[in-house]
Structure 1
Amino acid sequence: MMQTIAGKFVPVMITPFDLKANIDYSAVNTLIDFYLQAGVKGIFANCLSSEMFSISEEERLQLTQHIVSYVKGRVPIVATGSFGLTLEDKAIFTRKIYDTGVDAVILITGHFAKIEEGDDVLLRNFEKMFALTGNIPLGMYECPAPYKRIISPDVFRQLLQADRLIYHKDTSITHENVLAKLDILKEVPNRLEFYDAHTPNAMFSMRHGAVGMSSISGNFYPEIMAWMIANVNNPDKQGAVAWLQEQLTAVDPMIHVAYPMSAKYFLQKRGLPVRTISRAYALHLTPDQKKEVDALYDRFLVWCDRLGIEPVAAKSLV
């Protein structure tokens, strides 16, 4: 069971590949060490950042199993499980993912109703999925693929009542929708942990009751995100928190360009053995894109210096 501890950053783990585009498990280990030294409080494996739609079913299971085995319970791990053509198929794969030892299996909201179908279909399919998966702890993720299905506050309330969800990764972006869901969590008895995926929302969401953040920025500077979450409600750090939020918001559009290749290039600059090889992104970074990432790296060092953060050194991971 996920521990309910306020102030957690959970990165969406990328997948390093070798020169033949096979999963580089040695680099996976180094990346896990990097996340943990940076102060993360959990790991989201087999997610969109992991290129889960570009690897096989067997690789999804093998990669998740490897991560669980290497982490050895140091932090909780969640992983996506709602793959398959039918609900029965999705339930079978959910059980397989859960058997790897993860703490919860995440269901992609866009997997439970077609884009043109109403919330009645989504609720009916979630109810059936709950019935097919026994007591497996579940979560949901408003993943951008196959399409982004934002859960409305009303649907959110109804799903909570099943008492099966312990994790929610929100991508609704708007403060209004985020706040409505967080208010519902205060009203309805539940076990759910709310994570915002939108870095520009970090200060807002954490101050209104989110347990943590789970954003792609953790594949660039997890130390920065861990510091933000640890200090967002610290009365002595409010000036620095507001300044950092402005900085993070300013660069957020850039880190989404050519992602996850941009993150892999950034991690290379940090000394990690992560190649700029991706199955999800076919093109190399352009010279201009590399210049933008180079500039972001320089800004990252300025942030660390101003906030007194010691960046994780690649040599400490060997």
Structure 2
Amino acid sequence: MEKSRKGFVPVMLMPFQNDGQVDYQALTKLTELYLAAGASGLFANCLSSEMFELTPAEMLKTIRHVVDLVAGAVPVVATGTFGGPIGQQADFVKQVHDAGTEAVIAITGLLATATQPDAYFNDQMFQLLELTPGIPLGFYECPVPYKRVLAPEQLKAFVETGRVIYHKDTCLDLGQVRQKIAATTSYKFGLYDAYMGHAVDSLKAGAAGLSCIQGNFYPELIVWLCQHYDDASRADEVRAVAQFFVHNMDVMHHVYPIVAKYSLKQRGIDISTFTRRKVGNFSSETRKNIEKLDLDYAQLHKSLAYTG
């Protein structure tokens, strides 16, 4: 993003009350937590926010709430395309931009179906650019409704327009990530990697930062990794942090985002574990796994002699 430094852009959780209504007080606390941890930007209205379970009015209200709280301290991006005719998508993009976002994010899997070729996707995206003049855009390789991964040269063609400034990458392939970075390196553009399996190597290759669900458990630890990934004097610690995330990847993904909300609750954040999205059963075994994860994190945190 144009105003962001290299670092962590959280895919924001959406807090709900136990009756299913959006909990704006908890959303305030959560936003403050991300900022206090050192986030360099915020990704509102994403899959972690349960965006497909929100109404358009709720999306816009929650985005405005976050933008108002941030008050320009860091840029905010938010998803703005949800299928349908391209003109309809463009109209909502304009509303999301008017809510105060730095860039409006397009879901790659909603600009073309899984069976439609890249040429069709490209045509749809160029139409969207034409119908939203002056609005900075970005891409989100969201796994829902299906994951459509952009090729490096395809991404470059859009970045060259000067309008696409952000990309949340979920390809899980370090080789592709490197190619995408190389193809877009001379432009005002940032690639944010979602995959912690190769996070350090992605940052070393030139990624603008990380945008991963693990940051909804321990945002300050992702920020620490973004700050120290290339610090030779702390190489052992960097490896330990990266391995912590790799080792616990399955625990953090199981019945997510319930587990992330529970972890935050254990850390003193007043947030319900209620989710509108059906993600499975939060069993006693899952609860114990998260409690052990939090203990392991506390030991790691202490070993880093963490200074903020």
- SS of corresponding position for 1:28: helix
One-letter code aligned to 2:143 = P
Contact 1:264 1:276 in 2 (8 A): yes
User: Hey, what's the Cα distance between the residues in 2 that align with 1:169 and 1:97?
Assistant: 18
Aligned to 1:102: 101
- SS of corresponding position for 2:53: coil
The alignment status of 1:252 with 2:236, answered yes or no, reads no
Aligned to 2:264: 267
Q: CA RMSD in A?
A: 1.3
Deviations 1:270-299 (A, max 9, x none): 110110100013644111111111111111
Contact 2:153 2:183 in 1 (8 A): no
Of residues 199, 216, 234, the one that matches 2:213 is: 216
User: Hey, what's the Cα distance between the residues in 1 that align with 2:22 and 2:263?
Assistant: 19
The alignment status of 1:304 with 2:298, answered yes or no, reads no
Aligned to 1:92: 91
User: Hey, what's the Cα distance between the residues in 1 that align with 2:220 and 2:307?
Assistant: 8
Contact 1:12 1:214 in 2 (8 A): yes
User: Hey, what's the Cα distance between the residues in 2 that align with 1:283 and 1:169?
Assistant: 26
User: Hey, what's the Cα distance between the residues in 1 that align with 2:307 and 2:50?
Assistant: 30
User: Hey, what's the Cα distance between the residues in 2 that align with 1:165 and 1:294?
Assistant: 40
The alignment status of 1:52 with 2:13, answered yes or no, reads no
The alignment status of 1:235 with 2:232, answered yes or no, reads yes
Aligned to 2:285: 288
- Shift of residue 253, structure 1, vs aligned partner: 2.0
User: Hey, what's the Cα distance between the residues in 1 that align with 2:11 and 2:4?
Assistant: 19
User: Hey, what's the Cα distance between the residues in 1 that align with 2:3 and 2:69?
Assistant: 20
One-letter code aligned to 2:262 = Y
- Shift of residue 143, structure 1, vs aligned partner: 0.5
Deviations 1:217-250 (A, max 9, x none): 1110001000000001122111211221112111
Aligned to 2:3: 3
Aligned to 1:206: 203
Contact 2:204 2:230 in 1 (8 A): yes
- Shift of residue 4, structure 1, vs aligned partner: 5.1
User: Hey, what's the Cα distance between the residues in 2 that align with 1:308 and 1:248?
Assistant: 18
TM-score (norm 1): 0.94
Count of matched residue positions in the alignment of Structure 1 and Structure 2: 308
The alignment status of 1:127 with 2:126, answered yes or no, reads yes
User: Hey, what's the Cα distance between the residues in 2 that align with 1:61 and 1:151?
Assistant: 27
One-letter code aligned to 1:70 = L
- SS of corresponding position for 1:53: helix
Contact 1:4 1:193 in 2 (8 A): no
Deviations 1:139-160 (A, max 9, x none): 1010111110000122122222
User: Hey, what's the Cα distance between the residues in 2 that align with 1:4 and 1:97?
Assistant: 19
One-letter code aligned to 1:286 = S
One-letter code aligned to 1:295 = K
Of residues 183, 192, 195, the one that matches 2:192 is: 195
User: Hey, what's the Cα distance between the residues in 2 that align with 1:213 and 1:201?
Assistant: 11
Counterparts in 2 of 1:192 and 1:142: CA distance versus 1, 3 Å:
same
- Shift of residue 175, structure 1, vs aligned partner: 1.1
Counterparts in 2 of 1:84 and 1:113: CA distance versus 1, 3 Å:
closer
Contact 2:255 2:279 in 1 (8 A): no
TM-score (norm 2): 0.97
Contact 1:113 1:122 in 2 (8 A): yes
Contact 1:259 1:281 in 2 (8 A): no
User: Hey, what's the Cα distance between the residues in 1 that align with 2:279 and 2:129?
Assistant: 37
Counterparts in 2 of 1:9 and 1:282: CA distance versus 1, 3 Å:
closer
Q: Structure 1: 5+ residue runs without aligned partners? A: 312-318
- SS of corresponding position for 1:195: strand
Contact 1:304 1:310 in 2 (8 A): no
- Shift of residue 125, structure 1, vs aligned partner: 0.6
One-letter code aligned to 1:305 = K
